[in-house]
Amino acid sequence: MTLQIELGPEEEEHLAAKARLYAMAPEDYVHKLIQNDLPLDPTATQKLTAEDIEQLSMRLSEGSENFPILPVEVNDRASYYEERL
């Protein structure tokens, strides 16, 4: 599909500047924006279900069983400010 969009001079300038930040042609930058914004599944609601959250949580916690168990005091609010007292 080919799209044609009319941009004003300021919009064109901003687009070109943003594309330069990523070392991309403006057309490639806009293409990337569209790819990132559109869901892979056109029927997707972009809302996470409880099952999605559970799967994501499991993936994020993979390997955490090897983390040391720290005492509760480590996360005590006062411990963040010990040096300032």
**4-45: pLDDT as tens digits:** 999 999 999 999 999 999 999 999 999 999 888 876 666 666
Better-scored residue on pLDDT, 43 or 79: 79
Sole residue written with tokens 């972009």: 46
pLDDT confidence of residue 63: 86
For 50-73, write each residue's pLDDT tens digit.
888 999 899 999 888 888 888 887
What one-character DSSP code corresponds to residue 66?
G
Residue with tokens 């330069």: 20
Distance of alpha carbon 6 from alpha carbon 15, whole angstroms? 12
Rounded to whole angstroms, the Cα distance separating 51 from 53 reads: 5
pLDDT at site 32: 92
pLDDT at 43: 64
pLDDT score for 27: 94
Q: In this predicted model, which residue has the larger pLDDT, 19 or 46?
A: 19
Q: How far apart are CA 54 and CA 79, in angstroms?
A: 32
